Amino acid sequence: MIKLKQLGRHILIEYYDCDRKVLENSSLIEKYMLSAAKLAKATIVESVFHTFNPWGISGVVVIEESHLTIHTWPEYKYAAVDLFTCGNTIKPWTAFEFLEEKLSAKRTDITEIPRGVMDCIFKNQETFENS
């Protein structure tokens, strides 16, 4: 039996110097986010995208393994993306690379956060049970 160290991974991505035309195109952003989820081998449940006036998009792709979100600021050629995946069958880095290419990002900043770290979960359960 494989012992899990964490339940999920949360990758926070800053995409800079992106193609402004892409960042303001809601149907294209949704298409790219759904494709990113599929390429990552995620199981898509639902997607919701909203376009702001005069520009900018927020969207989420709910997957059985958690979610992928995007927020765009075309006026700054910037997008913020969260890839939160659970289990070890999903490939969030594949989604990252795909989106980097499709948004034409010239640079990125990335932070990966382990979610549901098992040592912390069990420590908290023991504390709760002993109180």
Active site residues: 66, 71, 86
In angstroms, the CA 74 to CA 28 distance is: 13
Tokens of 63: 């997957």
Provide the residue type at 40 as one letter: A
In angstroms, the CA 122 to CA 72 distance is: 38
In angstroms, the CA 33 to CA 66 distance is: 14
Instruction: Using alpha carbons, list the distances in angstroms from residue 102 to 14, 33, 79, 105, 129.
Output: 14, 10, 12, 8, 49
